[in-house]
Structure 1
């Protein structure tokens, strides 16, 4: 009987939605949480500095800094500092995303179809619903523009993790892993959108050269070559060729990250894990905050907010993030649960999924990037898009934090009950 109960417990844990994590999934989760907590704080700091500076009497200095051109013109790399932050520094962020994705696919929650299905479907729903809301708003408006349909489809991992760190300390790790895995898949889909939709006049020769450099990088790391002075020039070449090809240069970072081996013998850290430990602090602590400093600068004065409120593009972005994300994530998860006929693990309810869906509406880093790509840097709608992303992300963060704080107290009381149970019996 005892053996049968243990077997039943194991079956329930592995077959229920939001059951126990695999060892690899647990390790990936903890790695991400450690770095992204501080990264979310620095990202917020960079955004606040940009907002204050752009709204101050020294706004002209901020615009001059963003527009300063540096780099060799002979290599077509005479770019503005804002462009360097978007195409250059953000490549480090996408390199870490590539490493994270590789680890999830090989050793984490995306390795098992049963656990991968839910966050993948939820990520697709969480992108489809915001896009549909944006299209509905802009298709029915006289001055609408459908080019920005992908702006509200992205979830910012750093901000989402920061919210979880503050209000969700007692949430089950499976729920945390669900949000993080969803965000990784979300990033992957956003990368596909950037590569396919927002790449113009692709030069196949340069693209082939970039992919060849990525292949050389992958061959070197598989041969356990980890010396920086060997790998960095190859990585920079892959980035430069990708930039010249017309495909957004950050895609090179993802491809490079995905070439790194994610398996190691005898439970030793894999090369992908070691690279992620090395590069995540630079990504979360430098690259993304500096990008926020250059990308988030908008004067949130009454006039700008009033103009954004009347712009269907800004309306679609805001509604897509605040309403579309939770609707898409919850609906997709519900459909998956119905189709698979699986139940939630004990203690997990639809209120938890709704809270995670609201937090998924925090769109910042990739949303700002897609906004710049959709309408071009310096477009007349730049400020409206930035204002919509910032206000909607703040709204989603407050709503999500409120729901998750309530659920956190619920899960804390459940944990206390489990601890007290044996003594009472």
Structure 2
């Protein structure tokens, strides 16, 4: 009789991939801390006696008055600097499809379904709360995005012993979430399209791909990338879409004589810039909402504020956890031995920490600087804070278990530099029973 192997959800990957993800998450955690400081600085300044100076700074225009490049500082951070963030998101997505969890349809099903459920349910709950005000339905996508940097910063505060398989799931979930978010921006928050500029963008992307294939001249790569960004900016599609497209074109497999792929080297160069400057600069310009003088009371009574909070805290949690639970049950899989369902629930709560993309969609839906957009910002901040606090309570209860798992994973009995849990299973020792007398 043939015994079918048990399918494992959240099974541990191979050691090189786990080591890469651990390094990536450390960078994102540091970036999340910087992001938090930038957002707090903006909130403090925007509610201080010098708040007019803050608003004047973010509204300050710079750039040539040609090709729509005379933008405010806030627009430069959202249309320009965030393109680098989304370039890395596209690059990470390419790696996940090539080498990560998304290359295996069986493993990919769980995070993909969880991400889709974690997008759909918050949007439904937000829209349901706007039933009496059709004018606010435009913000339906605001609570659908998970901010990986902020989520990991929260995780770093409450404990660093999250099981490796679950950390990989969180990263994969966030990558798929980013792909859905940028697709929503491209298809639902584009008011008009310039076909001519789109053609220029496609030509520039083709030139970028050709340069990657033949020679990889850095000047040509930079020139074609900038042209693609400029063309998308003027096409009517949000400029960050260019970043994702460029990231998806990058090679993520090491060629002959290469220890690290070209995409991996570019990621190493750009990720500190993105995490340490680009995203915090956007947060600084986007999070500074003035609540003194009655602004907070007006926001709390706004259906937009309530819908965003409910979407992030309730919708994300139920969507991610429910999608994961149903997928595992319907595929007759089992959780990996080191995990329990409370772990997954804590992760689902953590997925409700939304910031960067949520604020961006709020600006696109209601216009940056509008009263409704200010209420969106407060809703995103309040919902993310509440989700982070609830996740902290849940995951703190499991922290002792995480620590024991981490200690077991770190054992390297044979001293080969690879934890024993990643070493291939050894063949069983041969039996010592004499021939013709098999053991019982």
The alignment's TM-score, normalised by the length of structure 2, stands at 0.89
CA distance 1:181–1:224, shift in 2 (3 Å): farther
Aligned to 1:250: 240
Contact 1:144–1:313 (CA under 8 A) maintained in structure 2: no
Report the equivalent of 1:284: 275
- Deviation, structure 1 residue 106: 0.7
1:240 aligns with 2:201: no
2 CA distance for matches of 1:111 and 1:187?
17
Could you tell me how far apart the structure 2 residues matched to 1:316 and 1:384 are?
11
1:165 Cα deviation after fit: 2.4
* Of 68, 73, 82, the match for 1:90: 82
Displacement of 1:27: 4.3
Name stretches of at least 5 consecutive residues in structure 2 with no aligned partner. Answer: 414-440
Q: Give how far 1:223 is off.
A: 2.4
The aligned counterpart of 1:55 is 47
Contact 2:38 2:284 (C-alpha < 8 Å) held by counterparts: yes
Match runs of 1:236-315 below 5 Å: 236-265=226-255, 268-301=259-292, 303-315=294-306
Q: Give the Cα–Cα distance (whole angstroms) in 2 for the partners of residues 411 and 349 of structure 1.
A: 11
Distance 1:26 1:415 in 2: 13
Structure 1 position 345 matched with structure 2 position 330:
no
Partner-residue secondary structure (3-state), 1:362: coil
Q: Supply the RMSD in Å over aligned alpha carbons.
A: 2.1
Alignment check: 8 A CA contact 2:163 2:405 kept: no
- How big is each residue's C-alpha offset from its partner over 1:212-242, in whole Å with a ceiling of 9 and x where there is no partner? 1112111111224152x22212111111000
92-101 or 156-165, which deviates more:
156-165
What number of residue pairs does the alignment pair up? 410
Report the secondary structure of 1:74's partner residue.
Answer: coil
Which residue, out of 412, 418, 422, partners 2:403? 412
- SS class of match (2:103): coil
Distance in 1 between the 2:231 and 2:134 partners? 38
The answer to whether the 8 Å contact 1:22/1:108 transfers is: no
Question: Which runs of no fewer than 5 residues in structure 1 stay unpaired?
Answer: none
* Higher alpha-carbon Rg: 2
Q: Distance in 2 between matches of 1:318 and 1:238?
A: 36
| CA–CA separation in structure 2 for the residues paired with 1:273 and 1:157 | 19
Structure with the bigger percentage of helix: 1
Which residue of the other structure, out of 75, 92, 110, is the alignment partner of 1:118? 110
Q: 1:156 to 1:55 in 2, by over 3 A?
A: same
Of 325, 329, 342, which residue of structure 1 is paired with 2:316? 325
Relative to 1, partners in 2 of residues 1:95 and 1:142: Cα closer, same or farther, differing over 3 Å? closer
